[in-house]
Structure 1
């Protein structure tokens, strides 16, 4: 199995599944499901799939990003869920706690913990900071609350230079705020759910500011859509896992820059498939860290987990390990680098899972860059959409969470 630049290895357990009549039958249904998606796309549904083949909007996004990089040292993105996680995933390619490549640092405020927000405000130079509030519906309580705490920090003329809105082109509290204060407002594409919006301005505008080559991100996504078989096969395996009682779907990359990707995946999988008593629970982990916190459970706990590891070749990369004289039992580090240890741990975890007969697949990538990230994002979108087809689920709504939103507003009103 392979995506354009990503190879996949299946454990013996999964390989045996691919030889079964059940797999063949489900794969036929998956192919039919993809054809349905293509027909739906021709009727104007799933515009996020069409967007990856376009480039005209990238010019405008690039111009805005260039201007903001000149105007601000920090851009704070206000938003939660799909309005934040996709952009966080992409930005992680170029910036971290220790490093950034752009002159403007992008920060994401996706929660409403008062302590965190007060700490942010105390650290910012507001005259060198821009704010971008993102909400598809324009009614997200958390984002509105965040924005309403930012507005008083500026005079009216300053607001127009420092605060920007991204929401659907329809009446909403967020758009009303933009109109009342004369704030620049960008249109969230209609018909694109937040968790599927990473290839739209929602994900690409913050990413461009962080120095991401957003054209290459879309090019990577196109590779998957043009060669979808691997994603279809992956969807079949995940659905078979659910049918066989593997109720948890573990994603464990051995790359720090994929940390936020695992959270993006978690929302995509849970919110798209957790309906009608169906779906599997996504669990995000990070190698090697979670070898020291989760691996015991994975190996010796309930046999209810389907595993995906994402690995890359870092052999002889990173800093060389220097062994002090006179220290015993460190000979295994001789002539080794930090990357060599990472390779050994990747291999050891994969082999241990396979030896325990855990259903495991391994994605191997030569290098993590914008194009490969685009492939990974689209692969998981397509795998999720096809899994929904196989489960007879609508992947694009989330009806169960509406009750909580209504109750939140009721409690705030004191009723």
Structure 2
């Protein structure tokens, strides 16, 4: 299947968009193909869905099966790209209440420094069979490293030598603190590829293993991404909707719209918004440039942020993600007294009303002066989530290059860490003058 996403916008004519960005897009596309673009050493994600090692994929599936059989709870430790992608896919494709049948509960740690969170996590897992997946390229990133130190002590105290069969490390292939510990302890390990940055790593073992443990079909996830690779190979702006989205974002920025709001009417897609925000925020927000990525979960946020979107400062544009097919629905009953006045809806379903609300919201916001982008996705399943992941990755890289920044570094992330090390008096830390 191709064309799993339909891209629509009414802000600028396609001919004008091509006139502004067509040649630039072709030039950047050529550089990415030739490996001459800035940050090209981190373009490994571009062909990843087609080039993933089959032996490694089989090992991911086998390890996921082992963890599903041995654990009631699997704790995934990571921060940023080491957890957001996995959690985004898991939340989007899991039941709203409970978990996938016959699969362990997957929970996350290392993405915050709350002692209350960690204490309650330890209380939650006590008495259950537990496994841990720790994800870190270096093993020394503060937030996940602290969480792993605490959970490793818990696992050692509870399982003794058998602990090694319940801990999986996803880390650098040859160096770093976590690699050294994993080799010494005999943990099962997977590699964080050198040519794939964290926020682009969801289709590597970083994301695939936790997603598979949750009972989600990672083969279908990869199949969707593979078809997206085929779809977005063209350098022509007129035929590549991922590049159209990237160009349109830059056009809107040039017109003064410097905030993009990702909006959806699907509650369990909200964590995907967070992955999207990291993807674009870290890739574009540097050198004093970038579009600020924000998000809303409608219709909930129509009753809070909706007022600002409708009538506030005209510096925002919205990208709506709509899933056309749904897996379940609920009818509206009829009542005799009709006290709430809703009998006029009794021939409709909740999903029908949700879709009408989406269309009404788009119309209202466009009438209020908000430029709109509408991405229609066939269905919210593993295949289409894999497809839209790749769509956004490709669009993000092109958008950042059009902006004139390296999509794959994040120098600003280090600044707060330096302050932490200084304030906590980390041994050996010397601040550069």
TM range (shorter): over 0.9
Give distance in 2, aligned partners of 1:142 and 1:277.
27
Tell me the equivalent position of 1:38. Answer: 33
Task: Report the counterpart of residue 148 of structure 1 in structure 2.
Answer: 149
TM-score normalized by the length of structure 1: 0.93
Q: Does 1:398 align with 2:410?
A: yes
C-alpha displacement at 1:306, in angstroms?
1.5
- Counterpart position of 1:384: 396
Matching residue of 1:213: 217
Mapped contact 2:46–2:394 kept (Cα < 8 A): no
* Residue aligning to 2:431: none
Name the stretch that deviates more: 262-271 or 404-413. Answer: 404-413
Give the C-alpha shift of residue 23 in structure 1. Answer: 4.2
Counterpart contact for 1:58–1:214, Cα < 8 Å: no
Give deviations 1:104-138, integer Å, cap 9, x for gaps.
Answer: 12112222211111111111146611011111232
Q: Aligned runs of 1:1-80 on 2, under 5 Å? A: 4-11=3-10, 14-16=11-13, 18-20=14-16, 23-40=18-35, 45-55=42-52, 56=54, 57-80=56-79
CA contact (8 A) 1:317 1:340 kept: no
How much does 1:207 deviate?
0.7
Three-state SS of the structure 1 residue aligned to 2:8 is strand
Q: Aligned equivalents of 1:362 and 1:410: distance in 2?
A: 46
Distance 2:200 2:364 in 1: 34
Alpha carbons 1:41, 1:47 under 8 Å: kept: no
Q: Is the 8 A contact 1:273 1:279 kept in 2?
A: yes
Deviations 1:294-319 (A, max 9, x none): 11101100011111111123689511
Match of 1:159, SS state, is helix
**Number of residue pairs aligned between Structure 1 and Structure 2:** 410
Any runs of at least 4 consecutive aligned residues in structure 1 with deviations exceeding 3 A, and if so which?
41-45, 179-182, 313-317
Partner SS for 1:15: coil
Following TM superposition, by how much is the alpha carbon of 1:191 offset from its aligned partner in structure 2, in angstroms? 2.1
Map 1:254-293 to 2 at 5 A. Answer: 254-293=265-304
Q: What's the secondary structure of 1:285's corresponding residue?
A: strand
Question: Whole-Å Cα distance in 2 between the matches of residues 337 and 167 of structure 1?
Answer: 47
The alpha-carbon deviation at position 190 of structure 1 amounts to 1.3
CA shift, 1:97, in A, is 5.2
CA RMSD in angstroms, aligned pairs only? 2.2
How far, CA to CA, are the matches of 1:196 and 1:77 in structure 2?
A: 18
- Aligned with 2:47: secondary structure? helix
CA distance in 2, matches of 1:236, 1:67: 45
Residue 380 of structure 2 is aligned to residue 368 of structure 1: yes
TM-score for the superposition, normalised by structure 2: 0.89
Distance 1:23 1:295 in 2: 32
Between stretches 248-257 and 35-44, larger displacement belongs to 35-44
Partners of 2:189 and 2:20 lie apart in 1 by: 48
Contact 1:315/1:343, CA 8 A, preserved across alignment: no
